[in-house]
Structure 1
Amino acid sequence: MTDPAPAAGEVPLARQMASALRGAVIPVLFFIAVIGLWEATTILLEIPEIVLPSPSAIGIALWKSVLSPTFLYHLGITLWEVIAGFVLGAVIGIAAGIAVGLFPFAERTLYPYIVAFQALPKVSVAPIIMIWFGYGLTSKIVLTATMSFFPLLANTIAGMRATPPDQKDLFHGMTANRWQIFWKLNLPLALPFIFVGLDLSLLLSVTGAIVGEFVGARAGLGFLILQRNFSLDMPGNFAILVVLAAIGLFFHLGVKVLEKKVIFWR
């Protein structure tokens, strides 16, 4: 007796596993090739460590950093600044985007000023924020919030405008009020756009925290980078960059997992 043929559009399990394996193996092989070429180049060309440290030296510095309580303290400070600033910027950005999407008057009144503020380089604004809020955690959280605010605002507005007019007319024909249309129609259609903004804002939050620590801080990974620059500890500096890249990748994957759970109908 032969096995039943798979239904139309149904991918066999073996093919799914093979595709997933290829998707995991190819990036790993590419990473190993890049690291091997990097290591060989630094050895063969005798590149000084202060110019470009080898991956092995960076790995040793990273291992020592992870085992250091001082490094973990600085890491915790930066993570708190990133998460707190992102949450603050996300809440304000999504709320402002919804308000602009629902009320055209808000767009005409507020949006030009928001765009003008966003056009300012945050590095130039950072010293002013430090003067206003001090050199503690508050100023870093505020700067991080300003970095994460605009992508969520712009994507939320785009999502609110993505509602097809015929569907909105259908809801009006069913005597739905403004808030029913928002909860049942506007918001579900805007969620994919909002998650794109969340992904981008999280990555910018890491940048905002580090920029704030560069301008003025007593702790954090940015502060630690400056210290290691002064001592010419380039492997240690690259180790911090590896940690920051890992943080950004972790946040990105977290948003993707949450997006699949929330927008399950996609």
Structure 2
Amino acid sequence: MSTASLDVEHVHEPPAERPRREVPGFVLSGGVLVVVLAVWQFVVRAFDVPIVLVPAPTDVLSSLVDGLSDGSLLEHAWVTLQEILLGFGLAVAAALLCAFLVTQSRVLDKALFPLVVMTQTIPKVAMAPLLVVWFGTEMTSKVLTTALIAFFPLLINAILGLRSADPDQIDMLRSFGASRMHVLRHLQVPSALPHIFAGLDVAVVLSVTGAIVAEFVGATAGLGYVIQATNFTLDVSRTFAVLVILSAIGLALHALVVLCNRKIVFWSAEHRPVTEQA
């Protein structure tokens, strides 16, 4: 045996590196939030910032606890949540129906889609007062405003998804005698689901914004109404408390969409929301 072979035999392979454990995204986000709150608290107290300008986090927490304890914030939050869910549901139904019609008929595509795009060029904030005039300050006008704001992103994603199916696979299914509905059910819809859930994730967050915009225009209840009232009385702590509740609602709805995406579109990780991939 040569010296070179002996040297090779005595060379030890370096130990395999242990895989690093990635810190979960919610831990990193929570850490950043804690740091921001700590700095916020310090700056407000150190520079004696007036509470009518920027309240300390402890003041916001105190106002939030008071509002939840006496039930006033819960009552208004329930009104806003109903508007969000009903508006979101209406937007989902209308967007999916319109996407189906547009992708299944060239005539409807040429006739409907330009009209839909034209309606989206009108600012929804400008339409909200008209809806209040037509339907009053009750929930109907709020639901319609929410649906209008959440509608278009979901529509575009649904259309892109239904058109993302492989044309060769469509031709193959039709060559075996599959009907248009069979192709839609077994190929186009599964191909569209990742895109649809991406649109749902955007639409559900926009629904929160839509409900508040509608309540700003004209309302007798809801978290947007509370923000307007507290701004008038300079109760900035309560305004921040309402913003905390709105953030919690938005995060909860986003998490629900992500969970449904994981359960239903389990075969696709490419189109999952960015926050989930992190």
TM-score > 0.5, shorter chain as reference: yes
Structure having the higher Rg: 2
Using structure 2 for the length normalisation, give the TM-score: 0.87
Q: What amino acid does structure 2 have at the position aligned with 1:43? A: R
Q: Can you list the C-alpha shifts for 1:118-150, whole angstroms capped at 9, x where unaligned?
A: 111111000111111111111111111111111
Query: Within 2, Cα distance between the matches of 1:227 and 1:121?
Result: 25
Q: Secondary structure at the match of 2:219?
A: coil
Query: Within 1, Cα distance between the matches of 2:128 and 2:172?
Result: 48
Query: Within 1, Cα distance between the matches of 2:185 and 2:99?
Result: 15
81-90 or 41-50: bigger deviation? 41-50
165-174 or 109-118: bigger deviation? 165-174
Using structure 1 for the length normalisation, give the TM-score: 0.91
Structure 2 counterpart of 1:167: 169
Query: Within 2, Cα distance between the matches of 1:49 and 1:103?
Result: 59
- 1:29 to partner: Cα distance: 1.6
Query: Within 2, Cα distance between the matches of 1:114 and 1:84?
Result: 21
1:157 aligns with one of 149, 156, 159: 159
2:82 aligns with one of 80, 83, 108: 80
Large movers: runs of 4+ above 4 Å: none
- 1:70 to partner: Cα distance: 2.0
Q: What amino acid does structure 2 have at the position aligned with 1:53? A: P
Ranges in structure 2 where 5+ consecutive residues have no aligned partner: 1-17, 269-278
Structure 2 counterpart of 1:236: 238
Structure 1 counterpart of 2:91: 89
Structure 2 counterpart of 1:38: 40
Structure 1 counterpart of 2:187: 185
Structure 2 counterpart of 1:53: 55
Q: Can you list the C-alpha shifts for 1:3-42, whole angstroms capped at 9, x where unaligned?
A: xxxxxxxxxxx969x43x5434322221111111111111
Q: What amino acid does structure 2 have at the position aligned with 1:32? A: V
Please provide the CA RMSD for this pair.
1.5
Query: Within 1, Cα distance between the matches of 2:190 and 2:181?
Result: 13
Checking the alignment, whether the CA contact within 8 Å between 1:144 and 1:205 is kept in structure 2 is: yes
Q: Secondary structure at the match of 2:170?
A: helix
* Residues matched between the structures, number: 251
2:64 aligns with one of 62, 65, 75: 62
- 1:44 to partner: Cα distance: 1.8
Checking the alignment, whether the CA contact within 8 Å between 1:97 and 1:152 is kept in structure 2 is: no
Q: What amino acid does structure 1 have at the position aligned with 2:102? A: V
Query: Within 1, Cα distance between the matches of 2:50 and 2:100?
Result: 53
